[in-house]
Amino acid sequence: MNLLITNDDGISSAGIKALERVLGKSYNTYLIAPLKERSVTSMALTVFQGMRVERINDNHYIADGFPVDCVNIGLYAEIFPKIDFVISGINRGVNMGFDVHYSGTVGAAKHGALHGIPSLAVSSGRIDPNDGYEREAELVLAFLEKYKSNIQSGEIWNLNFPPEISGSGTISELVFTRLGRRRYSEKYEKKQIIEGVSEFQLNGSLLGHDEETGTDFEAYYKGKIPVTPIELDLTKKSRLKELQSQ
């Protein structure tokens, strides 16, 4: 099985290195990642300019582009064999609820699904852990062994690891959930450059969420491992049916 691994934290991040190291024990791994951090880029794709791509070896490349660019190059630039599965992560910080609309980690997995490849986005609530995300990578390996055949073509599964996993601390603590409702409170710092021209920088954003049952937030804060299947079709089917019946 050929795995394409990418991320949005950049080639030097510990999470992607852990995935490559651990998953390489059981699968053919092909890594292509952004040269630098490309967080909060969703599904941005470079179209009107070229990208510099550096070959490290036959299985490992760096691209000066976005996470989606990396997946696209990995699938279509004829640098790798046919890819069977896309994994994006391990992200430094969680991607739950409405975060999936912004996340470059999830965006890369969505791009794999857009092209018919089963895809997994992986994030962790541990920030720069001493073990370099070895724990999460081992759990992703166990997850693949148990669930990879359940992920359908064109589907994205969004997986988040809490800092402390309850119970056995294994993949048996996984819970299938729906996306929760994230609440954002934003603050900008303003710096005047000249009269009529200012620089605005987003700073001091606060993240919250609604307390609801069955969501990724609920499972995560109970120490469980939430995984949410996501589809690309954003049509609100119940509303569409209501409108068509009028």
What letter would DSSP give residue 180? Answer: -
Place of tokens 């900008």: 188
Spatial distance between the Cα atoms of 205 and 101, rounded to a whole number of angstroms: 16
CB proximity list for 134: less than 8 A, separation 6 or greater: 18, 22
Q: What are phi and psi of 181, to 5 degrees?
A: -100, 105
Contact between residue 30 and residue 71 where contact means Cβ atoms under 8 Å apart: no
d(CA 56, CA 216): 37
**Is 8 marked within a binding site?**
yes
What are the phi and psi torsion angles at 136 (to 5°)?
A: -65, -40
Q: Is 210 annotated as a binding residue?
A: no
Residue type, 65: G
Q: Binding residue per annotation — 99?
A: no
* Rounded Cα distance, 174 and 143, in Å: 9
Does 245 appear as a known binding residue?
no
Residues belonging to the binding site are: 8-9, 39, 91
Residues belonging to the binding site for a divalent metal cation are: 8-9, 39, 91
